[in-house]
Amino acid sequence: MNALMIKGLLFAAILIGATIYVVESMNIDLSDPINMITMIGAVAIAVITVSVAIKYINQMKTDTASGELADENWDGIGEYKNELPSGWAYSWLGTAIWAMWYMISGYPVNAFSQIGQYNEEVKAYNAKFEAVHKNADAATLQQMGESIFLVQCAPCHGATGDGLSGKAHDFTSRMGKAQILDVIKNGSNQLGYPMGAMPPMMAQGADAEAIATYIAGGMKGEQPASFAACASCHGADGKGMAGMSPNLAEYDATLVHNTLQNGKKGALGTMPSFKTMITPVQEKALTVYIQSLVN
C-alpha cells in the first residue's frame, strides 16, 4: 500500500467520522428513511470521491498517451479516439438507473415533508390570524397596514410611498401625469378587471395632455371634454363603475386587490403577484394604509 493510498483512506475516514459526529451532535433520527438515505449517500460520496481521486492520480503518474489521433485538432492540440473509460461509463449508467428508481419508487411521496409541515403551519397560523383580526378597528388596520407596507412594498415604493423618485408607483397621489400619458399611449390589461383591456391611443396630443392633467390633479376643477373617452369605462366620476374598471380617483379596495392578485409592470420592473403571500385581513389593512398616504 503506497503513501497516496494511506492518505486517501485516512482522508475518507476523517470525512466519514465528521459526518457521523455531526449526525450524532444534531440528534438526527436515522430510523427516518430520508435521513438514512442521506447518511448513506454522504458516506458513499466520501468513499467514491477518495477512490476515484487515488485511481486517477496514480494513473496520471504512470500512464502515457496512446491510441489513434483524431483528424481534427485545435492549434495543434488533438484528441485520441479512445473509448470512454469504463469507470466513467459505469458511473453514468449507475446514476441513470438510480435516478429512474428514485423518481419512480424511491422518493417517499407519502412520508414526512418539512415543506409540507411548514405550509400546514402557515395555513393554520393564517386562519388564526384572520379569526383574531376579523373585526379589527381602523387604528389597528392602519398600524398593521403600515407594517406590511414597510416589509413588502417599501423596498420598491419607498418608506414614505413616494415611489423612489419615479422608479415605482407614487402612492402620495393617485397617478402621476407621466404615468397617465403612458397608459393612454400604450393601453393596459394587467389588472384583470371585467371591462377587459384598455386599448392604446384612446386620446392623442392636446386631448391626452388635458386628460392626464385633470386626473393627475385629483380630478378637480372643470372636466375636459376629452375625458368622455375615459368615462365610457371608468364612469363620469372616474371611479370605475363599481369595480368594472380601475378607479382613477382613489385607491379603493378593488384596485388594491386586483393589483396584489395580478401584479403590475412598472418603471422599476415587474411587481409580482402577492395573492399567496397576503391574507384578506392583511390586504384590507394595506388598503387602509395606502389610502392614508394620499396627500
Domain-by-domain residue ranges, the chain? 1-53, 137-293
Interval 4-18: pLDDT, tens: 788 888 888 888 888
Interval 87-112: pLDDT, tens: 889 999 999 999 998 888 877 766 77
C-alpha cell, 150: 414597510
> In terms of DSSP bridges, do strands 77-80 and 69-74 run parallel, antiparallel, or are they unpaired?
antiparallel
Interval 237-263: pLDDT, tens: 999 998 899 999 899 999 999 999 998
Alpha helix ranges (H) inside the chain:
3-25, 33-62, 86-101, 114-132, 138-148, 154-157, 163-166, 177-186, 205-216, 228-234, 253-262, 280-293
Averaged over 207-227, what is the pLDDT?
89
Q: What angle do CA 136, 137, 139 make, to 5 degrees?
A: 120
DSSP 265: E
CA 81 – CA 56 distance, rounded (Å): 19
CA 28 – CA 68 distance, rounded (Å): 54
Query: Closest Cα partner for 175 from 261, 262, 234?
Result: 234
C-alpha cell, 23: 449526525
Residue 284 has pLDDT above 90, yes or no: yes
Residues whose CB is less than 8 angstroms from the CB of residue 213 and which lie 6 or more positions away in sequence, other chains included: 177, 224
Averaged over 51-79, what is the pLDDT?
81
CA 197 – CA 260 distance, rounded (Å): 18
Are the C-beta atoms of 291 and 250 separated by less than 8 Å?
Answer: yes
C-alpha cell, 245: 374598471
Predicted confidence at residue 244, as pLDDT, reads 92
Predicted confidence at residue 268, as pLDDT, reads 63
C-alpha cell, 246: 380601475
DSSP 236: T
Strand, helix or coil for residue 69: strand
Predicted confidence at residue 105, as pLDDT, reads 80
From first CA to last CA, the distance across the chain in angstroms is 82
Kindly report the pTM of this predicted structure.
Answer: 0.60
Share of the chain above pLDDT 90, in %: 31
**22-41: burial string, b at 16+ Cβ within 10 Å, e else:** ebeeeeeeeeeeeeeeebee
Residue 166 has pLDDT above 90, yes or no: no
Interval 20-39: pLDDT, tens: 888 888 888 888 888 888 88
